[in-house]
Amino acid sequence: MVTQITKGVKITVRTQFQPVHSRPEMRHFLFTYRIMIENRSEYTVQILRRHWFIFDSNGEHREVEGDGVVGQQPVLTPNEIYEYESACNLVTDIGKMRGVYQMIRIIDKENFLVEIPEFKLIAPQRLN
């Protein structure tokens, strides 16, 4: 689990390897990640966009960006928490991700970025 706070918004990430949905012999490793977004600021905020940087241990790098998270653009009042789960596939059994959320403060329409801390994607067999 990794955690980071940017401008009063706390991001916590937990990851899990999905062996049932992975096919190592076909170079397909699936990982899920659960993200908890906690608004610790005094303002109501909304998630507008996300931008991911995905790194595979074979040297491949890709970026994914788009509106909202899992098809939503949630609004979080002060002290509200929003959680979601998504997935990432790699061609190796180890990698990492990091990113940013573009958010807006509802009261004054100020846009700002919230860092998603870097997290590792490691199949358990790599740890033995």
User: Domain holding 108: CATH number?
Assistant: 2.60.40.1470
Q: Using one digit for the tens of pLDDT, what is the confidence trace for 66-97?
A: 999 999 999 999 999 999 999 999 999 999 99
**CA proximity to 57, closest of 97, 22, 25, 86:** 97
Averaged pLDDT of the chain: 96
* For residues 56-60, average pLDDT: 95
Structural domain containing residue 8:
2-127
Q: Which of these, 16, 38, 47, lies nearest to 83 by C-alpha position? A: 38
pLDDT band, very low/low/confident/very high, at 125 (cuts 50, 70, 90): confident
34: pLDDT strictly greater than 70: yes
> How many domains does one find in the chain?
1
